Amino acid sequence: MQPDHILLRLGEITLKGRNRTRFEQQVMTHIRRTLKPYPKIEVTRTFGRIIIRLNNEPYEEIREALKKVFGLSSFSPVVKCAAALEDIQQTSYAIMKSFAEEPATFKVRVKRADKKFPHRTQELLPLIGGYVLSRMPELKVDVHQPQVELTVEIREEGAYLFSEIVQAAKGLPVGSSGTCMLMLSGGIDSPVAGWLAMRRGIQIEAVHFHSYPYTSEKATQKVIDLTRILSAYTDQIKLHLVPFTEIQTGLKQMKKDNLLITLMRRAMFRITEKLAEQQNAAAIVTGENLGQVASQTLSSLQVISKVNTLPVLRPLVTMEKDEIIRLAEKIETYETSILPYEDCCTIFLPKSPSTNPNLRVVEKMEQEMHWLEDEIEKAVSQTEIMVIKSGEHAPVQTSVQTSVQTSIQTRDEEMDALF
């Protein structure tokens, strides 16, 4: 049966004491923003519940959009009728008749929020159930494991009837926990890490390091696409595109291959910290995981993290790869992540990176690279910012495109020269 309303339930934000009102408002704002393409809907908030009046806007599309609103625990498509016994009985019957396959068992649940309603809950159960049973002779009541649980919520302004509970994204409204920089590579892990951070209320700004001409335009486009997929869970995401070629080639020329990844990642973190400062971000989020690759042993993470003063959040650190892949599939980043375009880390990957880098050696090397600090500053100042909104297909900024096109032909030659 086509619903005319949707009843939304807020998740754990209802537990958050004095912050509750602020969180509720953030969820409301997010719902309104997400449902902007449906101008006829009306969203109201009463008694810790949010109700959407559909006014003929398409429920199926709105259902999918609502699944991307963090802070909602579940929702139900609802048929509203007058708060009068006869109307409730008829609507209950209409709902029970509307299933493609007629259910064998059911149960009625009544919530009598309007205490002035003339019938008490205990009277209502047989009045509603009996009415339906008398018209559907095959149907039986099963109070323990019914196929359909028909809920009737009676309020002053009307009765809300529903039989389905759709699980939503849960978590906290995006933005309620502040802003963090997400180091976004284009691989499978970092988009998932970003999504998990967003689910805990974090507004992310993505930071991507590219090494034109060694990495291709398509690799950047892939990161833009991933950012766009993530932006469906918030309003928009800023993507910082950091030119990393100079630093990476400079580090490569140090001819200390086993420490190259450690040095590169320390430089990436330094730059990300500087961008975080500019954007007032409170922490850095990465897709690092324990034990996946050489740079992700505990001792590597320790040496790499020494450059940071901000907290580094690693939502995936203890997860299994197949769990991460399942999440990537669920949030629809997987297909994009597995596209073959190479990331700057993969291209410069040495044969045997150290799994146990020595902090003193690394620091000494960095001190000898007198150019490093300047190049880091230059990378920060030459970072380009794109604002990515879900549904929009903004092109890569012209300045980047030009530099890609002119340099792409020489890519193979330069690669040869470097290795």
Q: CA 33, CA 224: separation in Å to the nearest integer?
A: 21
Question: Which one of 17-25, 97-105, 281-289, 399-407 is the stretch in contact with ligand ATP (CB under 6 A)?
Answer: 281-289
Please check if 296 is assigned to a binding site.
yes
Q: CA 109, CA 324: separation in Å to the nearest integer?
A: 38
The label of the residue with tokens 């020329």 reads 253
Q: Taking CB under 6 A as the rule, does residue 208 contact ligand ATP?
A: yes
**Where does this chain bind Mg ion (CB under 5 A)?**
185, 187
Taking CB under 6 A as the criterion, the residue among 287, 315, 353, 357 binding ligand ATP is 287
Q: Which is nearer to ligand ATP, 106 or 348 (CB)?
A: 348
Q: Which is nearer to ligand ATP, 317 or 369 (CB)?
A: 317
CA-closest candidate to residue 344, choices 215, 191, 206 = 215
> Which residues in 60-99 contact ligand ATP (CB under 6 A)?
none
188 binds, among Mg ion, ligand ATP, none (CB under 5 to 8 A by kind): ligand ATP
Q: Which is nearer to ligand ATP, 52 or 328 (CB)?
A: 328
CA-closest candidate to residue 92, choices 151, 18, 33 = 151
Q: Which is nearer to ligand ATP, 26 or 190 (CB)?
A: 190
Rounded alpha-carbon distances, angstroms, from residue 376 to 269, 309, 381: 10, 17, 9
Q: Taking CB under 6 A as the rule, does residue 221 contact ligand ATP?
A: no
Q: CA 161, CA 175: separation in Å to the nearest integer?
A: 33
Residue 239 and residue 208 in contact, taking contact as beta carbons nearer than 8 Å: yes
Question: Which one of 136-144, 163-171, 290-298, 328-336 is the stretch in contact with ligand ATP (CB under 6 A)?
Answer: 290-298
Min. distance of Cβ 258 from ligand ATP in angstroms? 15
Q: Taking CB under 6 A as the rule, does residue 151 contact ligand ATP?
A: no
Which residue's CB comes closest to Mg ion? Answer: 187
292 binds, among Mg ion, ligand ATP, none (CB under 5 to 8 A by kind): ligand ATP
Min. distance of Cβ 230 from ligand ATP in angstroms? 13
Size of the site for ligand ATP (CB under 6 A): 20
Q: Which is nearer to ligand ATP, 185 or 245 (CB)?
A: 185
Question: In a 3-state reduction of DSSP, which class is residue 74?
Answer: strand
> Which residues in 321-350 contact ligand ATP (CB under 6 A)?
343-345
Bridge partner list, 180: 204, 283
Please check if 208 is assigned to a binding site.
yes
Q: Taking CB under 6 A as the rule, does residue 288 contact ligand ATP?
A: yes
Q: CA 388, CA 224: separation in Å to the nearest integer?
A: 8
269 binds, among ligand ATP, Mg ion, none (CB under 5 to 8 A by kind): none
How deeply is 64 buried, as exposed, middle or buried, from its count of CB atoms within 10 A (0-12, 13-18, 19+)? exposed
Min. distance of Cβ 12 from ligand ATP in angstroms? 27
Q: CA 197, CA 172: separation in Å to the nearest integer?
A: 10
Q: Which is nearer to ligand ATP, 288 or 366 (CB)?
A: 288
CB atoms within 10 A of CB 37: 11
> Which residues in 172-191 contact ligand ATP (CB under 6 A)?
183-185, 187-190
Q: CA 247, CA 74: separation in Å to the nearest integer?
A: 47
Q: CA 206, CA 382: separation in Å to the nearest integer?
A: 16
Rounded (10°) CA dihedral 272, 387, 233, 185: -40
Distance linking the first and last C-alpha atoms of the chain: 65
Taking CB under 6 A as the criterion, the residue among 110, 207, 241, 380 binding ligand ATP is 207
Please check if 90 is assigned to a binding site.
no
3 binds, among Mg ion, ligand ATP, none (CB under 5 to 8 A by kind): none
Min. distance of Cβ 237 from ligand ATP in angstroms? 14
Please check if 139 is assigned to a binding site.
no
**CA dihedral (274, 277, 278, 279) positive or negative:** positive
Q: Which is nearer to ligand ATP, 187 or 243 (CB)?
A: 187
383 binds, among Mg ion, ligand ATP, none (CB under 5 to 8 A by kind): none
DSSP letter string over 225-264?
HHHHHHHTTSSEEEEEEEE-HHHHHHHHTT--GGGHHHHH
> What's at 271, amino acid-wise?
I
Residue 150 and residue 95 in contact, taking contact as beta carbons nearer than 8 Å: yes
> Which residues in 291-320 contact ligand ATP (CB under 6 A)?
292-293, 295-296
Residue ranges of the annotated binding site for ATP are 183-184, 208-209, 265, 287, 296
Residue ranges of the annotated binding site are 183-184, 208-209, 265, 287, 296
Q: Which residues in this chain contact ligand ATP in the complex, by CB under 6 A? A: 183-185, 187-190, 207-209, 286-288, 292-293, 295-296, 343-345
